[in-house]
Structure 1
Amino acid sequence: MRWNLVTRKIEATYTAHQASVLCMRYDPIRGLITGSSDNSCWIWSPDLVPLKRLSGHSQGVLDVCFVGDLCVSASRDHSIRIWRDGETERILMHAGPVNAVASFGSTSLASASGDGKLKIWDLETGECLRTMDHDRGLACIKVNGTSIYTGGQDGKVRIWNGLTGECLSVLKGHTDVIRSIDCLGDKILTGSYDCTLRVWDSNTGQCLLSFQSGHSSWIFNVLISRSRILSAGQDKRIMILDFSDGLTIADGPSK
């Protein structure tokens, strides 16, 4: 679906998958890649025409991203598939569901898994360059320059140096799974199954804002811009927090 954030109405609906769409990444030049619980990905043109179905995973696709001219998909089947021109070029493995992937430079990939591992991969060779261990499973990651932010089942945000594997800081405050992370400059936004949003200072580790999101259930995804915070939840609602003239909530339709 494409939403108009001013009118809060759906402008268009696009169909290709046979089941729930679990993830997507859009690039104005490369187009859109989507992943679904139907175990497939679709490649779409920049104007959202479905071009090619990517099949190979045996379970749902949990996250997707672009790395250079490659497409990457991460699955509940513990695998990461690297796609070039619609064909599988390489398969990388975790010991648990791969919940999140992100480009880390032009030829490297960061991946986060329910096995509690954050891994950095060289996509040219398939080599795992670094592994960063967590006590419990990971649900989300965000790359910011050479830093990588992780969140997961322990309700903590960890800030890593992606080049050395050093854990720089641990941010505590959430009381349930951290499901999504975004950032803007040195500010980190997190959304949790505890139904709250938090904004952190990545330099000091301080929690700058903490508030009930307006969601009645788990928060699945968050985005931050200079004037807005967006969150999407299990309750079928998209919440828009507007910081342009104070803090107000615009509640998107639930159906």
Structure 2
Amino acid sequence: MEDQKIMLVYRTFILDRASTQWNRTSSKMQQALFSSSDGTIRLWDCHTGQCDNVINIGGEVGSVCSEDPWLFVGMPNVVKVWDTESGAKYSLNGPVGQVNALESVYNLLFAGLEDGVILAWKDTYETNITFQLAATLKGHTHGITSLVVGGGNRLYSGSKDHRIIVWDHENWQCIMTLNGHDDVVKFLMCWDKYLFSGSLDCTIKVWASTEDGSLEVIYTHSEEQGILALSGMTDPDVKPILFTDKGRLFAKQEVQTLQIGPADLFFTGDQIGLLTVYIWLAD
């Protein structure tokens, strides 16, 4: 780390293999949720550094997301669902192959599959706890790598086919296809009215709406290596961190996930299973 004034290492943990995702799973407790390719999910207390729970999934985890009180885990040919309050478990069948990406918003759950298909379920947990398959979205020719929901009923999907597709998740129609990357689109992120995309073509692109409603690239940031993970946060002065170099954090192996935690915490998970927690330092 070049700039000790920017961040310091808060804690480090060793997992069995590479971490893939973080999510706050409880509104009452701030927990870091990390899944690993060893088939386990670990819940860590962000403040004490203690592991609160280890869930043995029984298969390779492709993706994970949470929406209180639900925990969703993508695996080959299935999405498993846990009610973290009651302990009830469910399985959503329908996926073919690995579930590479999950996104949950309102009463919708989206799953991006290795065959390029996106499945959408609606839940009806206000009455009986059931998840009904609502739509099957086809448009990509290769595996889905990233899903994110934005404003205006939009769902964005990134793929190994180098494209981003914009969907309307109310009428399940494809709105437009974005062709701007020359390699796999690894991560998507919505920030305010902008869409950020990171790709193995060594670029991060910022997309914005035009007057006719389409999206165009308004900025391209280039790196020497392909982009494996993308996340955004504010500094201690609550200013967005954009593309001004404020320091560099180094890892022994490829950093495969970046996630933002509570209280200025920042998580990285690398290929060998090292989970590192950083905290912002005030100027």
Give the alignment's TM-score, normalised by structure 2: 0.73
Partner of 1:245: none
Partner of 1:113: 113
Partner of 1:171: 178
Partner of 1:126: 131
8 Å Cα contact 2:26/2:68 also seen in 1? no
8 Å Cα contact 2:25/2:69 also seen in 1? no
The count of aligned residue pairs is 230
8 Å Cα contact 1:188/1:199 also seen in 2? yes
Higher RCO, Cα 8 Å, sep 6+: 2
Provide, for residues 170-212 of structure 1, a one-character-per-residue CA deviation record: whole Å limited to 9, x for no partner: 1111001101000112200011011111000144311011121
Q: State the structure with more CA Rg.
A: 2
Provide, for residues 68-124 of structure 1, a one-character-per-residue CA deviation record: whole Å limited to 9, x for no partner: 30111113x23211012355333434112111101121x321111111111111244
Provide, for residues 9-65 of structure 1, a one-character-per-residue CA deviation record: whole Å limited to 9, x for no partner: 3221134x3222122223673522211011111223353432222223422x22211
CA distance in structure 1 between the partners assigned to 2:120 and 2:249 by the alignment = 37
8 Å Cα contact 1:8/1:253 also seen in 2? no
CA distance in structure 1 between the partners assigned to 2:193 and 2:157 by the alignment = 15
Alignment partner for residue 210 of structure 1, among 215, 220, 231? 220
Matched AA of 1:175: D
- Gap change, CA 1:167 and 1:32, over 3 Å in 2: same
Q: Unmatched 5+ residue regions in structure 2?
A: 124-128, 234-238, 253-283
8 Å Cα contact 1:67/1:109 also seen in 2? no
8 Å Cα contact 2:78/2:91 also seen in 1? no
CA distance in structure 2 between the partners assigned to 1:130 and 1:7 by the alignment = 45
Matched AA of 1:33: L
User: How far is the alpha carbon of 1:67 from its aligned partner?
Assistant: 1.9
Between the aligned residues of both structures, percent identity stands at: 20
Instruction: State whether structure 2 residue 17 is matched by structure 1 residue 19.
Output: yes
Q: Unmatched 5+ residue regions in structure 1?
A: 230-240, 243-247
Matched AA of 2:134: L
Matched AA of 2:137: M
Report the structure, 1 or 2, having the larger strand content: 1
**What secondary structure is seen at the aligned counterpart in 2 of 1:23?**
coil
Matched AA of 1:196: T
Q: CA RMSD in A?
A: 2.3
- Gap change, CA 1:27 and 1:68, over 3 Å in 2: closer
